[in-house]
Amino acid sequence: MRQFTGVDKLIHSFDQALRSLVPGATAAHRENPANIEETQLAVSEARHVAGLMRVNHSGEVCAQALYHGQALTAKLPNVRREMEQAAIEEQDHLAWCEDRLKELDSHTSLLNPVWYGLSFGMGALAGIAGDKYSLGFVAETERQVSLHLEDHIRQLPEQDDRSRKILVQMNEDELHHRDTALNAGGVDLPTPVRIAMTGISKLMTKTSYYI
């Protein structure tokens, strides 16, 4: 098996970033769960749903970057493979959110490159800190993402079953990734780290809704 050089890994990381950030570059591996007929939304409802889906898309960009950064610095091969597999599964979420934004005649966040860069750096640092902390970081990230998704599901208009099906499936996947990380040896993160993650998450949520 070929051994990848530092340059190879750099090129691979750049390719992953482009696939996460360029609209239309990521294809889903699973069928979009929103396989039901569209229902009419009022203009204000469609605008609100688009804002929610834009936030969720940005959250998935962050998840991609997190996994990519951790896979780059993870020490154990099995942990690296888990990070890479989780990133592949999260690609479905990216594609589904982007499809829904197109249906709503809206767009992904212009700030996604910023969120990707920050999350990639945090993931790489978590990997350097050690695999148990890296996995703990994944578990905490997925826990917070799940809380956002549950809140957004409650905010959806009653008739918007297309968006609801996407978010429900995403939440199931996030909880599965959280449990997988904990079962693989992830540990609880220090309270200051969790507070900092929550602060960054709130900043991303408030800005990506509009931009």
Whether residue 93 is annotated as binding a ligand: the answer is yes
118-176 confidence digits (pLDDT tens): 888 877 777 777 778 878 888 888 888 888 899 999 999 988 999 999 999 999 988 88
Rounded to two decimals, the pTM is: 0.80
Q: Which CATH number fits domain 41-208: 3.40.50.300, 1.10.357.10, 1.20.1260.10, 3.30.465.10?
A: 1.20.1260.10
Mark the ranges of the chain whose per-residue pLDDT is less than 50. 1
Run of H or E including 138: helix 131-155
Query: Is 82 annotated as ligand-binding?
Result: no
98 has binding-site annotation = no
Report how far residue 30's alpha carbon sits from residue 94's, in angstroms, rounded to the nearest whole number. 12
* 43, 170, 120, 14 alpha-carbon torsion, rounded to 10°: -80
Residue 150 labelled as part of a binding site? no
**Residue 177 marked in a binding site:** yes
Between CA 102 and CA 53 the distance in angstroms is: 10
| pLDDT at 74 (0 to 100) | 63
